[in-house]
Amino acid sequence: MKRAVVIAPHRAPDRPPVRVEPGDSVTLGERDSEWPQFVWTSLATGLGGWMPSVLFDREEGEATATQPCDTRELDADEGDTLLLHHELAGWWWAENMQGTSGWIPTRVLRILEDSQSEET
């Protein structure tokens, strides 16, 4: 499993995370200007969040999730070491040393080579 060191702090947005499962119906809205591969995704409950558009069967309007997604983001401070599970649209699903998981943008990480440690 890959590891990374956080090079800039990251804080999750102040809104509840959203989760979809394959087959869930959603409404896709505007694209994010900073992350254009992300689309505002609204659930029938009214909750919404940014999700990669590749997770749905269409680009806009009424859509169906084809893959699971959880928008939970991981708070991290500079110098933290994270375990990286998988990457999607410029973000990593990561786990901190306390076992908390969530998404964190690649741009705030320095990915360690297998032979490196967090001291380098």
Domain limits at 100?
Answer: 2-12+75-112
**Residues 34, 47 within the same domain:** yes
In a domain, 62, yes or no: yes
In a domain, 118, yes or no: no
Q: Are 5 and 118 in contact (CB under 8 A)?
A: yes
What is the spatial distance between Cα 118 and Cα 6, in angstroms, rounded to a whole number?
10
**Residues 62, 88 within the same domain:** no
**Residues 57, 27 within the same domain:** yes
pLDDT tens string 47-98:
999 999 999 999 999 999 999 999 999 999 999 999 999 999 999 999 999 9
pLDDT tens string 102-117:
999 999 999 998 755 5
